[in-house]
Structure 1
Amino acid sequence: MSIAYLNGEYMALEEARISPLDRGFLFGDGIYEVIPYYGGKSVGLIPHIERMIDGLGSIEIKCNKSVDEWKELLDEVIARNDGANQNLGVYVHVSRGADTKRFHAYPENVEPTIFCFTFAIKDPEPVDREKVTAYSVTTTQDLRWKRCHIKSTALLGNVMHFQQGYASGNNECLLYNDKNELTEGSSVNAFIVKDGVVITPIQDNQILPGITRRIIIDSLKADGSIPVEERTVTMDEVLNADEVWISSSSKEIAPVVKIDDKPVGDGKVGQVWEKAFGIYTAAKFDHS
């Protein structure tokens, strides 16, 4: 039984209740995070918290918890769910709260709703290109809003793009803008590899500032053995890449071997992925 946190109280997840007038329910008016813990050890906890605080500030939700207070709360949620003995993700959701009416403008004197729960996550993939789970993706034009750098709970655009990939028998959907430039996936960031160089789209309002993305870039740069570039990536480059990866807190670095039913490179998981994933795996717990 998962123990959830809701507005200062711990309870069984199925007992958690919010008002139907909560703006998170009515408008998707909130910010969320998903943070992985492996045997009680978090990956990117402080960067996740800092991104959440930045997101709350971006949409003017006043939530006065400090980084340390958030860390204490999330560690407690993990502990109450026996996180030391299993791999768990913790979902954190902060909405603007419940008003007395449905009205688009931000209400005053409303307390934010804070909700957290845990769920099981799979063991990390092996650092072995012969054994790792390989992914297939489809592609489509990015039709979401222009503030994708904010991790909003209003995810309908992402859900619809993900469904497009899922319904076609793929694991994800890679997105491109009206200039035919790669942005990200419906629930992931994206990387390509060409001639041994790892390349990922520059961070702007078109993509989420992924914590796993940041750890990948920082750990590869610190190691120094694999060149990394952050720049515009065209879809022609994606389709002609030697390797393609997608990344997220739950997937870590997942190799893509097929795009729109066509093989990536030789259709096999690449050697650069294997080396990079080893570097990331050795460094991931250093970013909490």
Structure 2
Amino acid sequence: MTDTALINGSFVAAEQASISIFDRGFLFADSVYEVVPVYAGRPFRLEAHLSRLADSLAAVGIDNPHQHGDWVRLLNDLINVNGGGDQSVYLQVTRGAPARREHRLPQDVDPNIVAFCQARRPPPPATLADGVAAVTRRDTRWARCHIKSTSLLANVLAAAEAHAEEATEALFIDEADGVVEGSSSNIFAVVDGRVLTPALRPAILPGITRGVVLDVLAANDIAHHMVDHLPLTALRRADEIWICSSSREIMPVTQLDGVTVGNGRPGDVWAKVYGALQEVDHE
């Protein structure tokens, strides 16, 4: 963790940062968030992250507390005061802290803003060389996962179950036995020579890194398709599976539910996409 946090527009020592116990983000998870990777002091795809933040705020009816330019200035100042370099910025906007706890939405309350930085580390070489394991779990989350809400208990419990099975990620499966996304990632699979990913819908977060991967696939003429339904049966016979997120970039999955994926090694298509991602302008 870095030293300085941002609380409602003011920079404070991280260990002294606090908000009210009556904050609705704390009491109800009535808040939204973003995680922005930072490379060499430059926030990656900040425009896209702030656009998604605005969409999430609008979807839950929280007034956006800042104009776009003010967000850019505040977050860049936060990065700089924490030393630049490779970091990730966590940003959360809550509905605020009314004087009374009740489920009904409060009137005339100002949103609270919390932001801090963490050191960003590249994936271990063994992860890139060997891949990671994943498990599948039934999707028990709410129906509006396209909103980047802090209501993440179902995700946390699924991730804990994956960890207990020595896996890196839990992949959610819907009632129609279709693959949705991971507990903290989007998913791609190479099936019959094509890269497939679930099309965006309310059950899926529009991942920023997911969008970058799609751009890389198009730029490199790699056959790909966004599908309305990606059957679990197709995932089980996939030659390659990848998970991607702002914190993970793109990782190869070489074991699914204890069964080897493809030949058990990161695939050639993943290697090409991963290499191309390293050449993307990190701004």
Place the TM-score, normalised by the shorter chain, in its bin.
Answer: over 0.9
Deviation by residue 1:129-185 (Cα, 9 ceiling, x = unmatched) = 995461101111111000000000111111111111111111110111000000001
SS in 2 for 1:283: coil
Asked if residue 87 in structure 1 is aligned to residue 86 in structure 2, the reply is yes
- For residue 245 of structure 1, report the CA deviation from its aligned partner: 0.2
TM-score, L = length of structure 2: 0.95
Q: What letter corresponds to residue 23 of structure 1 in structure 2?
A: R
SS in 2 for 1:108: coil
TM-score, L = length of structure 1: 0.94
Asked if residue 270 in structure 1 is aligned to residue 267 in structure 2, the reply is yes
In 2, Cα distance between the equivalents of 1:112 and 1:132? 44
**Contact 2:57-2:63 within 8 A present in 1 as well:** yes
Structure-2 residue corresponding to 1:221: 218
In 2, Cα distance between the equivalents of 1:87 and 1:58? 31
Deviation by residue 1:192-218 (Cα, 9 ceiling, x = unmatched) = 012331110010011100000011102
In 1, Cα distance between the equivalents of 2:168 and 2:4? 30
Q: What letter corresponds to residue 92 of structure 2 in structure 1?
A: H
Structure-2 residue corresponding to 1:102: 101
- Relative to structure 1, is the Cα distance of residues 130 and 246 closer, same or farther in structure 2, using a 3 angstrom cutoff? closer
In 2, Cα distance between the equivalents of 1:204 and 1:265? 28
- Relative to structure 1, is the Cα distance of residues 198 and 93 closer, same or farther in structure 2, using a 3 angstrom cutoff? same
- For residue 219 of structure 1, report the CA deviation from its aligned partner: 2.2
Structure-1 residue corresponding to 2:49: 48
Structure-1 residue corresponding to 2:143: 146
The more displaced of 144-153 and 274-283 is 274-283
| Residue of 246, 256, 261 corresponding to 2:258 | 261
Deviation by residue 1:105-134 (Cα, 9 ceiling, x = unmatched) = 1111101000100001113677xx995461
In 2, Cα distance between the equivalents of 1:190 and 1:123? 20
Structure-1 residue corresponding to 2:76: 75
**Contact 2:9-2:74 within 8 A present in 1 as well:** no
**Contact 2:130-2:265 within 8 A present in 1 as well:** no
Deviation by residue 1:41-81 (Cα, 9 ceiling, x = unmatched) = 22211101100011000000012412221111111100000
Asked if residue 35 in structure 1 is aligned to residue 36 in structure 2, the reply is yes
**Contact 1:174-1:184 within 8 A present in 2 as well:** yes
In 1, Cα distance between the equivalents of 2:265 and 2:71? 41
Structure-1 residue corresponding to 2:111: 112
In 2, Cα distance between the equivalents of 1:133 and 1:116? 34
Structure-1 residue corresponding to 2:231: 234
4+ runs deviating over 6 angstroms: none
The more displaced of 14-23 and 61-70 is 61-70
**Contact 2:4-2:116 within 8 A present in 1 as well:** yes
Over the matched positions of the two proteins, sequence identity in percent amounts to 40
SS in 2 for 1:5: strand
Q: What letter corresponds to residue 235 of structure 1 in structure 2?
A: L
Q: What letter corresponds to residue 230 of structure 1 in structure 2?
A: M
In 2, Cα distance between the equivalents of 1:149 and 1:123? 27
SS in 1 for 2:279: helix
